[in-house]
Amino acid sequence: MNRVGIGIDVHRFAPNRQLIIGGVHIPYELGLEGHSDADVLAHAIADALLGAAALGDIGKFYPDTDMKWKDLNSMVILRDVSEKYRQLKAKINNIDAALVAQVPKLSPYIPDMQEIMAANLGIPAGRIGIKATTSELMGFTGRKEGIVAIAIASVEM
C-alpha cells in the first residue's frame, strides 16, 4: 500500500550554537535553538516518515523533556526511523523537502545534505529532493529569526 506523510519543523536562531541542516555544518554566526542539534530538515523528514507509517512523531521517541537526548545528532533519529521501516518491511519511495530561510544561503549545501541524509536513511541520494527558498522578507523567517522545513514522504507499507 502506498502512503504519504508530511513533516514540518521550525527552529529559531540562537547564539553559541552550530548551524546544522541536513547533517551539514553551515558556516553562519548563529545556530538553531533546540534540545537536540536542532537540525530542522532532519526533523521534518523524520516526522514525514513517521507520519506515513502512522507511528507518531519524533517527540514521541525523542522527547525534549529527556536529558539523554540533549544535543543529540539528528542523524541518529534518521537511522532509527530507517530501522523502524526495516522492521515494518516498508520502503521509502522518495522524500521531497523545502527549507524556508532568509539567511544563510542554503542552496550550495543541498547536494551534501542529500548525500548525508540518504546514507543515514539507507536510500539512494536521488530519492531525496531538497529546495531552499526565502519568505521574501515576510514573517519570522523574513526577519531572519529562524528557519522552517517542510517535508513529504512517499512510502510503501
Which domains, ranges and CATH numbers included, belong to the chain? 2-156 (3.30.1330.50)
Helix, coil or strand: residue 131: strand
Q: What predicted TM-score, i.e. pTM, was given to this entire model?
A: 0.96
Q: Which three cell numbers stand for residue 77?
A: 533519529
Rounded distance, CA 147 to CA 150, Å? 10
Rounded distance, CA 147 to CA 103, Å? 8
**pLDDT band, residue 17 (cuts 50/70/90):** very high
Digit-coded pLDDT (tens) for 19-44 = 999 999 999 999 999 999 999 999 99
